[in-house]
Amino acid sequence: MPPERSNSLIRAIATDVHFWIPFCVLLGGLALLDKLR
Amino acid sequence: MNARPESLEAASLSVVHSPLQATRLRSLQALGIFCGFAAGAWLGGAEAPIKLVNADISPITVSLVMVCGVFLARWSVPAFIRGTSHVRADVLQAPHLVVWAILAGCMWAVANTLTIYAIRNVGLSIAFPLWNTNSLLGIFWGFLLFHELRLAGWKRWLGVLGGALCMFAGAALLAIASSHQAAPGKATFGIAAALGAGVLWGTMYIPYRKAYLTGMNPLSFITFFTVGELVTMLIVAVAYRGATPLWHELNAARPVLFWLMLGGFVWVLGDLFQQYATKYVGISRGIPLSNTNQLWGLLWGVLVFHELKGGTHTIYAQVTGGSLLMAAGAVAIALSSATEREHSSWRNAAAREGERYGVEHEYVRAGMEGRSFDGKHHARSVLDWLLVLGTSALFVALASVARLPVMDISRGWGVVLSGAMIVLLASGGVALWRTTRFR
């Protein structure tokens, strides 16, 4: 993939709220797992 | 993002927005609903092999071995059905979805580990309904982010939301019925783990829907999804258990590795149906339908593993009432399939995704309709057959050293339930092939 295309994809993902919602929930899940072990 | 002339861009956009033929829409909706029910059977059945495993093994190790089975299944099943060259073709069209698939895989792995803590602490019967609240969260995300249930009309709203609430009430009743099985003092941890898994799974459907609105094939999505699963589980297992103790535990667990990996394999088949359900009927309908897995889990628990044995009439009445409520909720959702007007708002969401990530509109459109994008035939390669044969050989080797624990199990009911699952698998496979060629 050309660097220009990959940069624009990374920018599109980083500015997409749909990415940050699951990402934050994942971090919360890892924190809960850490409490339970 | 695309450097195309505006007129061409407008023409391509109209491809995504133009309405889908009514008969095609109906058959895709029926297919998605059937896949949702088949997913319920296979996801519920996946818990059965895990029940055969000794409680001495750490939940992290149990989850790691399951994920190894899942990883093998998520590569060998797509290789067997369509070949991995289809995966390459899909990724070339929508490379950003690799990131989404890996993110979803990481979430699955953490949620799956939490469910094992939940089952250990409060029992399957309580844990199941708690993590199945994910369907309510799925409806919320589907409506908020992907235009599901928009322009759907009050009857369909009532069918989906009422059905999901009905299923939740049924699940809660089942939980009350079996609450006498909870270990005292551990309930809080178990409930937190089950609810945490529900939130993770409910939110994991955001990447699912994202991928399928963009047109990706579920068989391609799961191959990258599983990379996230395996890497997360390896990191969690090594960090929490330590590499050497983990290795010793895996060696000691050799007689049960087969059951755990089988649980993972069965889960993948259920999840694959769930992915197709999500693709064709959306998360607001697909997820509640696949949550009928609780009924299947209950059938396995009561008929095969003799759970609730010696219970009072009240308990059996609660179980029957809860099961009927869940079934009624599932039927209400199944009868509330999307209309052409609602489907038009899905297409708006799909066009938005295509625009944002620069995906060809015809690819998005073909994916939504379950038809071929480029008309090319991708033949299976040697790699595909190596994946299938290698996975089969590993399962045969593990089965040869596996031991069935001494447990009060009804094998007759086990055969009956397995038979019902196989019938659903075969009919689902035929329906998917005839309608979409597994697209």
Q: Which residues of A touch B107 (CB under 8 A)?
A: 22, 25-26, 29
Cβ contacts (< 8 Å) between A16 and chain B: which residues? Answer: 356
Q: Give the count of beta carbons closer than 10 Å to the beta carbon of residue B251.
A: 9
Secondary structure class of B324 (helix, strand, coil): helix
Residues 6+ apart with CB under 8 A from B200: A25, A26, A29, B107, B108, B110, B111, B114
Are B357 and A9 an interchain contact pair (Cβ–Cβ within 8 Å)?
Answer: yes
The answer to whether B75 touches B329, Cβ cutoff 8 Å, is: no
Residue B316: the pLDDT is: 81
Closest Cβ–Cβ partner in B60, B196, B203 for A21: B203
Burial status of residue B19 (CB atoms within 10 A of its CB: 0-12, 13-18, 19 or more) = exposed
d(CA B194, CA B133): 10
- Out of A5, A8, A29, whose CB is closest to B114? A29
pLDDT tens per residue across span A3-34: 787 888 889 999 999 999 999 999 999 999 98
Residue B119 burial (C-beta neighbours within 10 Å; 0-12, 13-18, 19+): buried
Tell whether B97 lies on the interface with A, counting CB pairs under 8 A.
Answer: no
Alpha-carbon distance B20 to nearest alpha carbon in chain A (angstroms) = 26
Pairwise CA distance, residues B397 & B400, whole Å: 5
Q: Where are the alpha helices (DSSP H) in B82-186?
A: 85-93, 97-122, 124-131, 134-146, 154-157, 163-177
Closest partner residue to A12 (CB to CB) among B96, B103, B240 is B96
Closest partner residue to B203 (CB to CB) among A22, A32, A37 is A22
CA distances in angstroms from B178 to B51, B122, B168, listed in the order given: 17, 10, 15
Rounded distance between C-alpha atoms, residue B54 and residue B37, angstroms: 30
Contact between B225 and B104 under an 8 Å Cβ cutoff? The reply is yes
The pLDDT averaged over each successive group of 10 residues in chain B (439 residues) is 47 58 88 94 88 76 90 93 88 90 94 84 74 84 88 84 86 69 66 91 92 89 93 91 91 89 92 92 87 85 82 81 84 83 87 89 87 77 94 95 83 94 96 92
Do B66 and B250 form a contact (C-beta atoms < 8 A)?
no
Single out the residue of B347, B287, B17 nearest to residue B150, CA to CA: B347
A9 lies in which domain range? Answer: 3-36
Local structure of B152: helix, strand or coil: coil
Q: Is B107 on the interface with A (CB under 8 A)?
A: yes
Sign, Cα dihedral of B41, B178, A35, B246: negative
- Would you state the pLDDT for residue B169? 85
Q: Helices B85-93 and B218-241, interaxial angle, to 10°?
A: 90
Block residue for tokens 């999840």: B271
Domain count, chain A: 1
For chain B, the first-to-last Cα distance in angstroms comes to: 27
Does the CB of A15 have a partner CB in chain B at under 8 Å? no
Half-sphere exposure of A21 (CA within 13 A, CB side): 19
Decide if B199 touches A, using CB distance below 8 A.
yes
Per-residue pLDDT at B269: 94
Whether residue A20 lies within 8 A of chain B, CB to CB, comes out as no
User: How far is the C-alpha of B348 from the C-alpha of B350, rounded, in Å?
Assistant: 5
* CB contact at 8 A, B303 and B178: no
Check CB contact under 8 Å for B114 and A9.
no
Distance from CA of B295 to the nearest CA of A (A): 26
d(CA B20, CA B35): 21
Q: Which residue of A has its CA nearest to B196?
A: A29
| Domain residue limits, chain B | 35-436
Q: Which chain B positions have a beta carbon within 8 Å of A27's beta carbon?
A: none
